[in-house]
Each structure stands twice: as structure tokens, then as C-alpha cells.
Amino acid sequence: MTRRTWIAATAGTAFAQKPQPLDLPRFEPRSMLHVAETRVERARFPVIDFHTHLSWGDPKGEKADVIVPAAELLRVMDRKNIRMMVNLTGGYGKGLEACIAELSRPHSQRFLVFTMPWFAKVSEPGYAKFQADEIARAHNAGARGLKVLKSLGLVVREKGKTGKLVKVDDPRFDPMWEACGSLKMPVAIHTSDPEAFFTPIDRFNERFEELNAHPDWSFHGKDYPSDRELQEARFRVLARHPKTRFVVLHLGNSENLGYVSAAMDKYPNMWVEFGARIGELGRQPRTARKFFDRYQDRILFGTDAVPKGDEYPQQVFGEKLYEIYYRFLETEDEYFDYAPARVPPQGRWRIYGIGLPETILKKVYHDNAASLLGLPL
């Protein structure tokens, strides 16, 4: 008789419960760890959230709907010590002008707006010059930078029979990158997605629940390029346009900080931002802390916050979202949730704080973004 069998036999009904089936989505384990829990209600220094989505435009560039009124945003910002939000998805054309009129013009010290490329016209003759001219027009209207969605490389296709995906380093965009450089408009570029999005949705995929719920988020198979192909295409753009400042959103590849570090060392015109990626950084806290130490002058604070964005629970705008980010940066707390959702939205893990010193915190929260955007320190 084994020790386990003997214990079970002598314990009576204590071991009598039979195994019960449980659907994975219903599994909500409560940690039994007794560790420090620090609530950080306000950031230690004023914050510039470089990555928010406060509006969405339409493909025709005719309008842009601000999701939440500025007054409501400002109340949360004041409570959480957020000096400024950068709305990356300001759109283009008349929609961009409307967004600027509603957000940054009446609240110039609290909101900045970026424009976006007019991808719907990419197959039209003369697009390269048209898009460069649009950057100049957006700048004159008040846009402070350019936001490039991950759709470049993964969604935008040529019109006509081929329907091929347009590549990130397509030369038609070169005048656009150069225009941003000459106008000192930083380019916030989202390229690729988590590595799991490029692998089969099966039992080995650590984001199975997320992708099983949103199978259209998967870029596995078909004619999609690999994650590495997309990353390298973006770096070729950085190399071709050294005078243009690029902010690589989501840290580029937060699962491989060694790869990102090599790029940071190679491209001095590269900054990074970590919106919606503390779930990755916080499960490698020692490596992440070293990364923040080494590149403390080129890391920007961002959340990828989407007001009323219930579809994306890891980035729903609200006070709890910011408290989690502050806790990750300011404390050495262990094993806590990386998002305000009831069930972990990206994967079933928890994170650890990296406890940055005040000198680095001030740069990451505010000074790096202020310097890049030409704002007072």
C-alpha cells in the first residue's frame, strides 16, 4: 500500500469527493499566496499616456467620433495624476479636424492627436506624393504625430486581381516617413502581434482562450507573413529613415526582449512603448527591470486604453487599469492581476512588479514622452 493510498483509506470521507468536470472558461482559481498587496492610486509623477484610443474615424475620412466626452476623461485623469493623453487614432481628412476641434484645441495641455495613413487610397496612382502631402496638411491642422496600425502588413491589400498584402517597407510610404521626419512628427507604429497569434489555435497555444474567443485575431496560415518577417520589415524602414523618430508600440515583441534590445542598440531613432504588454513584462520581471534600466531614456508610458472598450478587457479605460500599471512600475509586489478583467484576458498567468527607482519612473511616466513631443519638462 502506498503512502497516499494509506492516507486516503484512513481519512474516510475527506478523500471521497469524485473528480468533477469543469469547463476552462469557468475556472477562476483564487491564489492562496499571502504576499504584499499595494494599491497605487496615483502615479508618483505626472503621466503622459502616449497610447490611447479616444476616437475612431471612418475609412472615408469624413468624421471621427470621440468615444467619451473630454470632461469625463479629465475627471479620471485628474484623479490618477495623468497630465496628458495622446489620442493615436485621430484619423485623417475632415475626421481628423473634427477630433482636434473637440479634444486638443480646447484642452491643448491635456490632449494631443495623431493622424493616420489613408490606406484606402494606397493602390491609386500618385499615392506616395498624396500621402506625404496629407502628413503636411495634418500637421498644419494640429496633428502632432502619425499612428500606423498593425493593418499595414496584415490587413491592407492591393486592389484588383492580386489582392496581395501591402508590406510594411513598401517604398510608396517612403515620402510619408520622410515627411514625418522633416516635420518632427514621431511615428507610433504597431507592427505584428503577440507570437501566439501566428501559431495554431490548439492545446499548445498559451493564448488559446483569447484566440478561441476571437479566431479572427489569428494570423496563422493563409498568406500572412510570420512575426519575424513583419518585425524585420519595420526595422528596414527605421534604417532607411534615420532622421524620423519611430515609437515601436507594444515594445515590438515583448516576449523576446533580447531581440528588442538588439534593435534598440542598432537604431538610435527607435523608442518603445508598452501599452497592453505588462502581462508579458510582468512575468519576466528581472529581465524587464534590466531592460528599463538600460533603455530608460527611450521608453514611453502607454496603456492602449480604449474608453468603453469591453471587447478588450486588458485595456478598458478606467481607474483600475491605471492602478495596475502604476503597481507594476512602482512596487515589487508579487503575483497580481495584469488587467482589470474577471478572467485573465490574454493568458492564465499573473505578474510581478519591477519597482523602478524615482529617476527612471519620472522619465518613463513623463519626461521621455515630453521630450519626444516637444513639451515642457
Handedness of CA 190, 196, 198, 202 (dihedral sign): negative
* Confidence band for 296, pLDDT divided at 50, 70 and 90: very high
pLDDT of residue 14: 53
DSSP bridge pairs for 121: none
Domains and CATH numbers, the chain: 36-373 (3.20.20.140)
pLDDT of residue 47: 98
**What would the pLDDT profile of 121-176 be if each residue is shown by its tens digit?**
999 999 999 999 999 999 999 999 999 999 999 999 999 878 999 999 999 999 99
Q: Where are the beta strands (DSSP E) in 284-330?
A: 299-300
312 pLDDT more than 70: no
Taking alpha carbons only, the member of 167, 294, 291 closest to residue 235 is 167
Mean pLDDT of 200-207: 96
Mean pLDDT of 237-251: 98
pLDDT higher at 30 or 235: 235
Taking alpha carbons only, the member of 251, 277, 253, 273 closest to residue 373 is 273
pLDDT of residue 18: 84
Round the average pLDDT of the chain to a whole number and report it. Answer: 93
pLDDT higher at 59 or 104: 104
pLDDT of residue 8: 57
The CA-CA-CA angle for residues 72, 77, 83, to 5°, reads 135
Mean pLDDT of 274-291: 97
CA distances from 188 to 277, 319, 333, 372 (A): 16, 24, 31, 11
What are the residues whose beta carbons fall under 8 Å from the beta carbon of 212, sequence distance 6 or more?
201
pTM for the whole structure: 0.94
Residue 187 cell numbers, joined: 511615428
6 pLDDT more than 70: no
pLDDT of residue 12: 54
Question: What number of other Cβ atoms are within 10 A of residue 219's Cβ?
Answer: 20
16 pLDDT more than 70: no
